[in-house]
Amino acid sequence: MELNNKKIINGWCMYDWANSVYSLVITSAIFPVYYDAVTTTDGPQGDMVEFFGLHLKNSVLYAWSLSFSFLFVAFILPLLSGIADYAGKKKLFMKIFMYLGASACLGLYFFTGKVNIELAIICSVLASVGYSSSLVFYDAFLPEIASADRMDKVSAKGYSLGYIGSVILLIVNILMINQYEVFGFESDTGAVRFSFLTVGLWWIGFSQFTFLRLPDNVFKRKSDKGWLTGGYKELKKVWNSLGEQRVLKRFLWAYLFYNMGVQTVMYLAATFGSKELKLEGKQLIGIVLIIQLVAIAGAYLFAYISKVRGNKLSLMVMIGIWIVVCLGAYFVTNVEQFFALAFVVGLVMGGIQSLSRSTYAKLIPENSIDHTSYFSFYDVTFNVSIVIGTLAYGAIEQITGSMRNSTLALMLFFIIGMIFLLSVKMPHLKNDATKADS
């Protein structure tokens, strides 16, 4: 298949535009605030909820449901990716999980409070599963549509479009919520619930550009039966191959640790600002917007650095900045300092995500046609890192009584990740514009 086809690459990048609204609107900005508001009542036990007969704190239930979704995805993805590679059904699986996640976002519209909290948790889990699972099939297209010297830039373009699209929809939703009467809603609650519909519709609608342009069954694999056993064999083949790929294994170990820090910061930065600095909701949303917008420039900046100086050095610089961010978070005391810290987080957040994806794509053996299976291990590492990072962060806060101490643990994760990355002697990363990383 022809590489670097502009039409195909633009179609691939549009899926970042389509799905990123979930991670911003549902995961980070609007749904968590709404969930807490409608499941908290007056009184000493006001934050307790009943979920299928179990009595739990609302925040604990939500956190555990997310952890479950990540673990579930980590469990099912390797086999599904093996099936997708074996049968040439990568785009089909991507569609299935996209529709699952987007439909679950639509379902959140009907969530009104404690009376149907089961609906909220089921839909949020399915949305998370759909989002995370679709990404492994999406990411696996990268080495099939772009040559190695273009991967960093293409990956950065995808993430940048995701940040832009999600910010646009978030701003529209914020205007809709703040001026709900102008938009024909009886209350801001109705506007909030409608915002969940906009996420699902946006995700489904813009994904169609991707599905129209992405190639189907690039390697012309044909299999009408034996998907399960064939998928298992495909997965086993890649697993055995990983045992021989020392560079790939060490990179995954490095990614596991530094991504624990990255994802935990992304998920809990707003909570840190609210709890430790008593920031208001509008200030927290402002911080989220700063991070998203600066991340666009960061993705392109570090893609350029990788082109000039190599992927490894670019990643090392970003991890070093993340270590400084964690140390700064421990000492931050006012709003201005926190906003400055958010600016730096945005700068390295976009870069480290896009460059990690493209670096891994470059490290996959050139003669491999099992890209989905290889990327399943990358995405399993991603999901496991979130679970470990968030659990460790919460446990340290529970033991010490301060989220500031938890930020020091995140700093340790970044340091371990840097040590692993230092031990990786990267080969020439198929990039004609750079010298081999040392």
Q: What are phi and psi of 137, to 5 degrees?
A: -75, -35
Print the domain residue range for 177.
6-422
Q: What is the pLDDT along the chain (438 residues), one digit of tens a residue?
A: 578 899 999 999 999 999 999 988 998 778 888 888 899 888 777 888 899 988 888 877 887 888 888 888 888 877 777 777 666 788 888 999 999 999 999 999 999 999 999 999 999 999 999 998 898 889 888 888 898 888 999 999 998 999 999 999 999 999 999 999 999 999 999 999 999 999 999 999 999 999 999 987 654 555 555 555 655 566 667 667 777 788 888 999 999 999 998 988 877 776 677 667 777 767 777 788 888 888 888 888 998 898 888 889 999 999 999 999 999 989 988 888 888 988 999 889 889 988 998 898 888 877 665 667 777 788 888 888 988 887 887 788 778 877 788 888 889 999 999 999 998 877 654 444 444 343
Nearest C-alpha neighbor of 256 from the set 245, 248, 244, 246:
248
> How far out from the chain centre does Cα 2 lie?
29
Nearest C-alpha neighbor of 390 from the set 206, 224, 227, 264:
264
Instruction: Tell me whether residue 429 is in a domain.
Output: no
**CATH number reported for the structural domain that contains residue 353 in this entry:** 1.20.1250.20
Count of domains forming the chain: 1
* Cβ–Cβ under 8 Å, residues 416 and 326: no
Token readout for 340 is: 């400055």
Q: Sign of the CA dihedral 308, 312, 315, 316?
A: negative
**Is the pTM for the entire model greater than 0.85?**
no
| Cα→Cα distances 168→176, 178, 289, 426, Å | 12, 16, 10, 38
Instruction: Tell me whether residue 437 is in a domain.
Output: no
Instruction: Tell me whether residue 427 is in a domain.
Output: no
Instruction: Tell me whether residue 208 is in a domain.
Output: yes
Instruction: Tell me whether residue 344 is in a domain.
Output: yes
